[in-house]
A and B are shown apart, each in its own frame.
Chain A
């Protein structure tokens, strides 16, 4: 197995763990919050999935920098300035910062939750969409719009389902 294949597998593992964990955390959160309060047994799946999310992020970051080194050492430095690559790095940075702010309870779940979900799915799409040919600012602008839309959608869901938290 060459280094490129090893990095691809590692990167995919990190993405799968992170995207999977965040999606199920969202599902369990909405399900638990429906009756207006989250019981300890309802919080348990969320508590168990959080370390998986963190593990996914660590694997993603380390394997991501593995790619950086691979490009640097094999004469493909121009890929490091590719807008899609830079946007993906920015989004992963936002995932890390958002995670910290959520952990420290500096931002509410109603904001941090959508940022987390949209960011993980955006990182996944940006990684998979090879032919994406947009500027860095267009990609990040679109990402911000999707985050804002997700926050509003969550607010609407809570209103429709009469969720207080």
Chain B
């Protein structure tokens, strides 16, 4: 693996992890009693930016290396389903996340949003943030198992 590919893999994992932390932090802020609109805005923006980084770096690693060098090893190894189920699922579910992140950012950054007055809206946003965290966690766990199967 070249240095660029190593950096892409490291960047993909770490930026994805940071995104999860930001969205995780949004949830109690949305539901709790002490709403901090500016903090929420920063979290939603940071979450979106880190997700986009993770997307681009994942795309580079996946299209330039995974298909030719990792996938054959997994498919001929002891856990072929790590590719056929986990990787196939992961690479497509991941595509949902930036759009969910965009929605959360739009809601938090919009000046017309009633986020500070509308509790029902905040709860709905918290549920969506939780889904981002849950899907992101699933995608992360799949990534660990896929990497483990690449030997």
Interface residue ranges, A against B (CB under 8 Å): 58, 61-62, 65, 68-69, 71-73, 75, 77-81, 89, 93, 96, 100, 103-104
Contact = CB atoms under 8 A, between A and B. Distances in A.
Contacts of B148: 77-81
A77 B9 contact: no
B100 interface: no
Nearest to A79: B148
Given A62-B17, A69-B9, A89-B141, A78 B151 contact: yes
Contacts, number: 51
A51 to B, nearest CB: 12
Given A62-B17, A80-B145, A103-B32, A72 B9 contact: yes
Interface residue SS majority, chain A: helix
A159 B137 CA distance: 39
A78 B77 CA distance: 12
Given A62-B14, A72-B9, A96-B24, A77 B150 contact: yes
A77 B9 CA distance: 14
B74 to A, nearest CB: 10
B144 interface: yes
Contacts of A62: 14, 17
A68 B147 contact: yes
B31 interface: yes
